Amino acid sequence: MTISRREFVEKSAVTAGGLWLGSHLPSVSYSQRARRCVVLDLGARCFLRESLEGYRAALDREADFISVNQSRWADHARMAILPGAGVLDSEIVSRLVEVLDAGGTILLESGGEFLSETEFKRQQDMLREAFSVAVTSTVNIWGDATKAIPYVNYTWPDQLMVRDFSRLTPVLAAESDVIGRLGAIPLACRKDVGNGEVIFLGSPVGPAAWAGDVEASKWIRSCSGLADR
């Protein structure tokens, strides 16, 4: 049964139980300045550690790199980036919704291609119910050795091509929301959700930046610049 985003958030607040109280703990010691961009280290929920390092290499000091377990990280996050994300628990989802409700941006780079079938179904449900993003089963385009190295063509925020390093998670979205494709396969979208905006990547960009891909780093920096607006 499909539930509304509001119902999902309310359910998340309840299921988070005592963990939800963490949002009311005193501020932690990381930078207290008004943050333009926060890159979240998801720990065991990040299925592509090289993706996190790719964002670190691309953004360097342009963003705050913090653990998702830190309290109050959502308070001043104009943009929150989640590299190689797997299944997110209800507390993380609730804090991401806080960012959206405050008019911020979520960039969720899926690590769904590395999840089990059950985990992927949970991620599908979470993406649909909390962020209004619909995805289909992953696609392996690396199986045919005769094919050229695959590149994703992005049309926003810059027109450029970024190499793909893994299986893909296609997205189902309106034509006007699609911002990246590999051939005819839509892999990235950008859409308004609540007061904010969600950017979904079904082909991780971080690993390409980690490997030194100039176009990938440029795309990441252009996206992070949204937090200045």
Q: What is the pLDDT of residues 68-101, one digit of tens each?
A: 999 889 988 999 999 999 989 999 999 999 999 9
Strand, coil or helix: 33: coil
**Span 181-200, average pLDDT:** 96
What CATH number does the domain located at 5-228 have?
A: 3.40.50.880
The fraction of the chain above a pLDDT of 70, given in percent, is: 80
Residue 71: the pLDDT is 86
Sorted by where each begins, the domain ranges of the chain are: 5-228
The region of weakest confidence among 22-36, 90-104, 136-150, 179-193 is 22-36
Residues 12-38 have a mean pLDDT of 44
Average pLDDT (131-159) is 84
**pLDDT at residue number 150:** 87
Report the helix count and the strand count for the chain, using DSSP H and E: 6, 11
Average of pLDDT values for 166-173?
Answer: 90
pLDDT of 221 higher than 50: yes
List all residues 6 or more positions away from 218 whose beta carbon is below 8 Å from its beta carbon. 158, 160
- Phi and psi at residue 197, to the nearest 5°: -145, 140
Cβ proximity of 100 and 198 under 8 Å: yes
DSSP state at residue 27? P
Q: Give the 3-state secondary structure of 63-120.
A: CEEEECCCCCCCCCCCEEEEEEECCCCHHHHHHHHHHHHCCCEEEEEECHHHCCHHHH
